Amino acid sequence: MSFKSLGLSENLLKAISKKGYETPSPIQAKAIPPVLEGKDVLASAQTGTGKTAGFTLPLLHILSENPKEKFRPVRALILTPTRELAAQVYANVKEYSEFLEIRSAVIFGGVNQKPQAAAIRRGVDVLVATPGRLLDLQNQGLLSLKRVEIFVLDEADRMLDMGFLRDMERIMKLMPPKRQNLMFSATFSKDIRKLANGILNHPVQVEATPENTTVDAISQKVYRVAKGKKTGLVIKLISEGNWQQVLIFTRTKHGANNLTKKLASAGITAAAIHGNKSQGARTKALSGFKSGKIRVMVATDIAARGLDIPLLPHVVNYEIPNISEDYVHRIGRTGRAGASGEAVSLVSADETSYLRSIEKLVGMKIPMEIIEGFEPDPNASTEPVKQGGGRNRSGGGARNSSKKSKSNDSKGGNSSNKKRNNRNRNRNKRSN
């Protein structure tokens, strides 16, 4: 199968060819035809499988085929959970529309709104946005969604995780009821299906890979280690393995900052990226990491999706996530587009139940190793670590976003504490 056989326009095929793409990925081959037919689509695809092109290419085709208005109101809205993902999707839209008369813009928080508002005033066909900044500009009367023809909800499961359900509901009411809807998600949880039922109209469901599977090209390994020896072990692995590009995940912003300082003290160039960092700092860190100036990037789960880092060879879970699905998204930063990659997890005694849930979810026993000098503490408790005043559950099932809201880079929280949930939601909105 070729992109031409999917029915895309010549100008889109020209842009695709310039990018060096020849054959559509499975999710692209399955999603593009029904989108071109004007149908609503519910799609699930593993990270790194090319799903962004699965909705941007047919979206651009549809818009370019229809007459344009002089004013150019927003005709397509792509909603994403994080700034990084919004920037990545926008970059793809720009590349694919190079030979089309399509205007696009991206809006997200953490930066001055004036350039964004100016772009919208000039007229925008395709708008890529995060929920917080979108609603902010709409409330100021700086943009309208009354003419939206196509709505794309990207990373829908992450959107729910981050507590954006109410914002999404508000955004739906700002658009005309008659429109084409596309929802892309890494998982088809109960919450996602419930959300889809309220947005999509008789959708075509497409799935490129089994839900929550891990890419075969990723080599996974667990190192059992004493909690206090994790920093020494990760320094040893990076130094002795001569790893030159490593993405490390921590659970908290404080943990990311602390580890970054210790790596720098050991002579390893590192930068932290999380919700408390300004957009300028996040962009600078990511740019330095991609160029090789920064050897290690330490991130919270804000970076688990939306970071497009070609050929990233190493991902390290300094602390494994208490939500099992997040493990899949984290390690999915490597092994992208058919390339091989290595995912290493440092597991202390109090993370034992989290590891079991992850192995159950991915359907495999992850190979385990113990390195001399970094042995686990035989007397340490295997009780899950307490965070934010409440015990995080270790399960791998769906989360009910109407009852609890997990911040993408907070310390977690007690789901019965409404005040804490509100703080988490507000933190996510400020972050994006």
pLDDT value of position 148: 96
Kindly state the tokens that stand for 244. 């030159």
pLDDT at 339 over 70: no
pLDDT value of position 214: 55
pLDDT value of position 387: 54
Considering the domain boundaries, does residue 229 fall inside one?
A: yes
Among the listed ranges 14-18, 159-163, 262-266, 307-311, which one has the minimum average pLDDT value?
Answer: 307-311
Query: Based on the domain organization, do 47 and 74 belong to the same domain?
Result: yes
Residue pair 289/221 in contact (Cβ under 8 Å)? The answer is no
Round to whole Å and give the CA distance between 94 and 351.
43
pLDDT value of position 46: 63
Considering the domain boundaries, does residue 145 fall inside one?
A: yes
Query: Based on the domain organization, do 186 and 252 belong to the same domain?
Result: no
Considering the domain boundaries, does residue 150 fall inside one?
A: yes
| pLDDT category of residue 338 using cuts at 50, 70 and 90 | low
Query: Based on the domain organization, do 356 and 286 belong to the same domain?
Result: yes
Stronger pLDDT, 245 or 2, i.e. the higher one: 245
Query: Based on the domain organization, do 165 and 311 belong to the same domain?
Result: no
pLDDT at 397 over 60: no
Furthest CA-CA distance within the chain? 72
Query: Based on the domain organization, do 40 and 155 belong to the same domain?
Result: yes
pTM over 0.85: no
Among candidates 418, 351, 360, 341, which has minimal Cα distance to 386? Answer: 351
Q: Indicate the average pLDDT of the chain.
A: 84
Query: Based on the domain organization, do 195 and 233 belong to the same domain?
Result: no
- Position of tokens 């580890």? 259
Considering the domain boundaries, does residue 426 fall inside one?
A: no
Kindly state the tokens that stand for 325. 């699905």
| Chosen domain end from 174, 207, 240 | 207
Q: What percent of the chain has pLDDT over 70?
A: 82
Cβ neighbors of 163 (< 8 A, separation 6 or more) are 401, 405, 406, 407, 421, 424, 425, 428
Note the pLDDT tens digit of each residue in 302-313: 655 556 676 789
Query: Based on the domain organization, do 135 and 56 belong to the same domain?
Result: yes
The CATH number assigned to the domain holding 80 equals 3.40.50.300
Considering the domain boundaries, does residue 358 fall inside one?
A: yes
pLDDT value of position 301: 81
Among the listed ranges 80-84, 133-137, 397-401, which one has the minimum average pLDDT value?
Answer: 397-401
Dihedral over Cα of 11, 85, 289, 186: its sign: negative
pLDDT value of position 393: 33
Q: b/e per residue, 69-103, with b = 16+ CB within 10 A?
A: eeebbbbbbbbbbbbbbbbbbbebbbebbeebebb
pLDDT at 403 over 60: no
Note the pLDDT tens digit of each residue in 138-187: 999 999 999 999 999 998 888 887 788 899 999 999 999 999 999 998 77
Kindly state the tokens that stand for 162. 């981050």
| Chosen domain end from 369, 392, 414 | 369
Considering the domain boundaries, does residue 389 fall inside one?
A: no
Q: What is the mean pLDDT of residues 195-215?
A: 78
pLDDT at 430 over 80: no
pLDDT at 89 over 50: yes
| Chosen domain end from 207, 227, 243 | 207
Beta-bridge partner residues of 106:
128
Query: Based on the domain organization, do 305 and 365 belong to the same domain?
Result: yes
| Secondary structure class of 354 (helix, strand, coil) | helix
Residue pair 35/55 in contact (Cβ under 8 Å)? The answer is yes
Query: Based on the domain organization, do 29 and 64 belong to the same domain?
Result: yes
Q: What is the mean pLDDT of residues 409-428?
A: 44
pLDDT value of position 186: 77
10 Å Cβ neighbour count for 377?
13
Query: Based on the domain organization, do 173 and 61 belong to the same domain?
Result: yes
pLDDT value of position 401: 35
| pLDDT category of residue 402 using cuts at 50, 70 and 90 | very low
Round to whole Å and give the CA distance between 281 and 120.
25
Residue pair 394/321 in contact (Cβ under 8 Å)? The answer is no
Considering the domain boundaries, does residue 402 fall inside one?
A: no
Considering the domain boundaries, does residue 386 fall inside one?
A: no
Q: What is the mean pLDDT of residues 362-386?
A: 89
Among candidates 138, 141, 168, which has minimal Cα distance to 153? Answer: 168
Query: Based on the domain organization, do 158 and 257 belong to the same domain?
Result: no
pLDDT value of position 345: 96
Torsion of CA 199, 205, 211, 212, to 10 degrees: -40
| pLDDT category of residue 383 using cuts at 50, 70 and 90 | confident
Q: Which domain holds residue 232?
A: 218-369
DSSP output for 164-202: -HHHHHHHHHHS-SSSEEEEEES---HHHHHHHHHH-SS
**Orientation of helix 418-431 relative to helix 131-139, angle to 10°:** 80
Distances (CA, A) of 58 to 34, 46, 241, 349, 387: 9, 20, 43, 48, 44
pLDDT value of position 409: 38
CA of residue 69 relative to chain centroid, distance: 33
pLDDT at 23 over 50: yes
| pLDDT category of residue 207 using cuts at 50, 70 and 90 | confident
How many domains are contained in the chain? Answer: 2
Q: What is the mean pLDDT of residues 77-104?
A: 93
Query: Based on the domain organization, do 79 and 148 belong to the same domain?
Result: yes
pLDDT at 95 over 60: yes
